[in-house]
Structure 1
Amino acid sequence: MIVRAIDGLNEVVGRIVSVLAIIFAGIIIYDVVLRYVFSEPTRWAFDVSKQLFGFYFILLGGYALRHNAHVRVDILTERLGRGGQRVADLLGYVIFFFPFAWVFLTRSWDFASTSWAQGEVTYGAIQMPVYPLKMAMCVAAGLLLLQGVAEVLKIILDRQEVSE
């Protein structure tokens, strides 16, 4: 039940965020056409596309982990049996993943709350607020940590990835 809820949450977030790729591409195409066809570049497209790309990139971590779309080095574990692979995966989560995810969550929270308190904005042609993107980092860290919990539960329960 918990695994399915976490998988479902990251699936929904991943699908919603993937729409940003379409918006992101549209803004870039719009700016390129204005810049090179009409010699009228926008003042805002570069800053907006950077922000959207930041949201897009950072918020898909949990979704990528859910779908095994991350980089794995299986040189050693490919020779182990199923039980050995499970132990290696569990150790990898406990030794590397969870400490990283915890540091990512706590540091991004500090980073975002400081930005929010200062009302931080970009320094480009238009001054866009930066704190929403920094808050997205904190949300992404939370989603990644939750998905890690789901993946560990799958290993412990000896379940394959729940695909939908």
Structure 2
Amino acid sequence: MLQSIAHICAALPRAGHFAGGWLLFCLAFVIGYDVVGRKFFNTGSTMLQELQWHLHGAAMLLGFGATYLKDAHVRVDLLRGSFPPRAKIWLEVLGIVLFLIPYLGFLFHFSIDYALRAWATGEGSVGGGGLPNRWIIKSFLAIGFALVILSALSILARCIDALRTGGKAPDTPFFPDP
């Protein structure tokens, strides 16, 4: 049952990772269009430049959850590397329960308020000719934090299952790409 919970929780972060990849493809197109336009047609715009950083930010936030699932995140392993597998799992469980989920829950809560205030005030670009509806990009903060929380719950379920059954330690990716 814990494995099923882990896979369900991992589904949205993996979908976010996929969507983020497509946003990077769109970003490359927008950058190319902007560069060619500025170089040859004198058509540079603030809107295109803002769209670039919006696409980049959204893609990165969509990918953070999958990064944690793949164990590709930054980890300080000064002591952990020498721990036995079971101690590594316990350390992961304690880190998720005591630090990661409470911290991300705090960030998620305040990022929702941040996006809602931008929506309520009709916040747009500070520069003339920029993008309107700044709440859209600000909403990606909450989405990104939610995806990492789901990833943490997925890994937590895997760790608890590993502690119960003697399964795989968390120093290998839980959901490697097929």
TM-score by length of 2: 0.85
RMSD: 1.5
Report the 3-state secondary structure (helix = DSSP H, G, I; strand = E; otherwise coil) of the residue aligned with 2:123: coil
Distance, in Å, in 2 between the alignment partners of 1:119 and 1:134 is: 12
Change (3 A) 1:146 1:67: same
Instruction: Tell whether the 8 Å contact from 2:122 to 2:133 is kept in structure 1 after alignment.
Output: yes
Report the 3-state secondary structure (helix = DSSP H, G, I; strand = E; otherwise coil) of the residue aligned with 1:157: helix
Instruction: Tell whether the 8 Å contact from 1:59 to 1:139 is kept in structure 2 after alignment.
Output: yes
Give runs of ≥4 in structure 1 deviating > 4 Å: none
Question: Deviation at 1:62?
Answer: 0.8
Change (3 A) 1:4 1:127: closer
Q: Which amino acid aligns with 2:19?
A: I
% identical aligned pairs = 24
Q: Answer with 3-12 or 40-49: which moved more.
A: 40-49
Q: Which amino acid aligns with 2:105?
A: W
Distance, in Å, in 2 between the alignment partners of 1:18 and 1:128 is: 24
Q: Which amino acid aligns with 2:158?
A: K
Distance, in Å, in 2 between the alignment partners of 1:126 and 1:83 is: 52
Consecutive unaligned residues of structure 1, counting only runs of 5 or more, are none
Which deviations, in whole Å up to 9, do the C-alpha atoms of 1:102-124 show, x marking residues without a partner? 11111101111111111111122
Which deviations, in whole Å up to 9, do the C-alpha atoms of 1:9-28 show, x marking residues without a partner? 21112112211101101111
Which deviations, in whole Å up to 9, do the C-alpha atoms of 1:64-95 show, x marking residues without a partner? 11111110111101111001111111121122
Report the 3-state secondary structure (helix = DSSP H, G, I; strand = E; otherwise coil) of the residue aligned with 1:33: helix
Question: Deviation at 1:42?
Answer: 3.1
Is 1:65 matched up with 2:57? no
Instruction: Tell whether the 8 Å contact from 2:51 to 2:131 is kept in structure 1 after alignment.
Output: no
Once the two structures are superposed, the pairs formed by residues 35-114 of structure 1 within 5 Å of their partners are 35-114=38-117
Q: Which amino acid aligns with 2:77?
A: D
Which deviations, in whole Å up to 9, do the C-alpha atoms of 1:120-143 show, x marking residues without a partner? 111222342110111121122111
Instruction: Tell whether the 8 Å contact from 1:59 to 1:137 is kept in structure 2 after alignment.
Output: no
Distance, in Å, in 2 between the alignment partners of 1:154 and 1:98 is: 15
Instruction: Tell whether the 8 Å contact from 1:34 to 1:42 is kept in structure 2 after alignment.
Output: no
* 1:138 paired residue number: 142
* 1:119 paired residue number: 122
Q: Which amino acid aligns with 2:38?
A: R
TM-score by length of 1: 0.92
Which deviations, in whole Å up to 9, do the C-alpha atoms of 1:21-57 show, x marking residues without a partner? 0110111111111112333323421011111112112
* 1:19 paired residue number: 22
Equivalent of 2:133 in 122, 129, 136: 129
Is 1:162 matched up with 2:175? yes
By relative contact order (CA 8 Å, sep 6+), the higher-ranking structure is 2
